[in-house]
Chain A
Amino acid sequence: MSRLDPTVKKETAYAALWVTALSLIMEAVFLIGDWWTPAVLLGNMAGAVTAVLNYLLLGITVAKAVSGPAEKAPLKVRSSMTARLLGQAAVVAVAIGVFHTNVYATLLPLLFPRIGIAFRPMIDRKRGKTAVEPEGSDLLD
């Protein structure tokens, strides 16, 4: 089995951190609002694990696709995206339909990695990181 790309590892860890933090906030909101039940925790866990696993699989797919020929990349990514979306739908449907988890607590964590990405430029700016500029971009200034 080939080892995981360090970039994918780093990105997944970042997404997992955000999912965990936002899941804790969501649990706190449910507790404060007096809506908390074990179904909320179970749904949150199912949604969070699905979101992080989806992000990891996305990273693995992208890392594999960019290492291969450009002609094969679109098909690889498209088929992976379809499989991952259907997988997420299946996991969420089973969690809600069979294990009777809270619908909102199961669905919301799926969007948490996206919220983490939205804050990424701000964090990078604080760390002093800048985007990679293509060669010769200074000529445009």
Chain B
Amino acid sequence: MVELAMGIMLGLCGVGAGIALIAGIGPGIGEGQAVAAACEAIGRQPEAKSDVTSTMVMGCAIAETTGLYGLIIGILLIFVAPGIYSGVLRDTVAALK
């Protein structure tokens, strides 16, 4: 029974990590649209290229943070959560006995 619970818990950690990484899709789409708009802006004002590029790099880095949060949650769910949850499970089983 404990093995089954452990298996379900590990499986759910993996599923959770997969779902967390979905957060990486949104920023990519947003960044793409922002850069396309930046291209048009540079087309209108070529002298502002340096400023637009600088702002775009910072803006894209900020947008990417959302994806990074997902990545960090995913990594924590894979490497840290199973250890913590299996400890909790073992303690609970020991307390019930």
Contact = CB atoms under 8 A, between A and B. Distances in A.
Given A92-B75, A103-B76, A132-B48, A113 B39 contact: no
Majority secondary structure of chain A interface residues (helix, strand, loop or mixed): helix
A81 interface: yes
Contacts of B33: 74
Contact of A96 (B29, B58, B61, B75): B75
Interface residues of B, number: 42
B60 A77 contact: yes
Interface size of A as a range: 35 or more
B31 A97 contact: no
Interface string B1-44: 00000000000000000000100100111011101101110110
Given A103-B80, A111-B65, A62 B36 contact: no
Interface in A48-98: 55, 58-59, 62-63, 65-66, 68-71, 73-78, 81-82, 85, 88-89, 92-93, 96-97
B35 to A, nearest CB: 4
A70 to B, nearest CB: 4
Contacts of B89: none
A117 B67 CA distance: 16
B-side binding surface: helix, strand, loop or mixed?
Answer: helix
B39 A66 contact: yes
A11 B32 contact: no
8 contacts: A5-B53, A69-B39, A77-B31, A78-B31, A85-B71, A92-B71, A131-B55, A132-B51
B28 A107 contact: no
Q: 6 tightest A-B contacts by CB?
A: A74-B32, A70-B39, A81-B28, A78-B28, A73-B35, A132-B51
A55 B35 CA distance: 16
A39 to B, nearest CB: 13
A110 interface: yes
A62 B67 contact: no
